[in-house]
Amino acid sequence: MQRVLIIATDGFEQSELMKPREMLMNAGAQITIASLKTGEIRGWDQKDWGDSIGVDKVIGDVSVEDYDALLLPGGQMNPDILRAESKVIDMVRAFDAAGKPIAAICHAPWLLAEADLIEGRTVTSWPSIRTDLANAGAAVVDREVAIDGNLITSRNPDDIPAFTEALMAALNMEVPA
């Protein structure tokens, strides 16, 4: 069974956490949601607050050794808050140092830039942060999924199926037909 850590906080793009989580769970993965606080975090559903989801662990209580991959949902608020948290950035760097897949969608590649992981690498993202990624040294492309080594990036909620399937393939999980 593959174990996937999802790091998110209030303001995560609801579809970008819930849909990959559901696809991964349906394929047999074990999912842990880690955040900055205990209790619940609330999603953002397009133009207003959406559903909440329970937090399994706080960031300080997770270890890269316990997981096979990291998934970072986007939304505008969620990654902007998370990139200011050193424990989160340290965790992203630890997954990279271990060579484990890191899947980041929408605005979440901001976390990859903050962790200094994208210089010389090919990534994609939500259009408004592409200049930030290019300024951090990435080769930025506009496509459904960009895979460069252990980094898997996508642009927006429309890319969720391809994004999640790319993560599943990186984990040697059966991808739905």
Give me the active site residues, please: 106-107
Task: Enumerate residues 6+ apart whose C-beta is below 8 A from 145.
Answer: 124, 152, 153, 154, 159, 162, 163, 166
For residue 91, give Cα distances in angstroms to 43, 50, 79, 83, 136.
22, 27, 14, 11, 19
- Cα(43)–Cα(141) distance, integer angstroms: 27
- Cα(111)–Cα(101) distance, integer angstroms: 14
Token couple for 10 = 């209030």
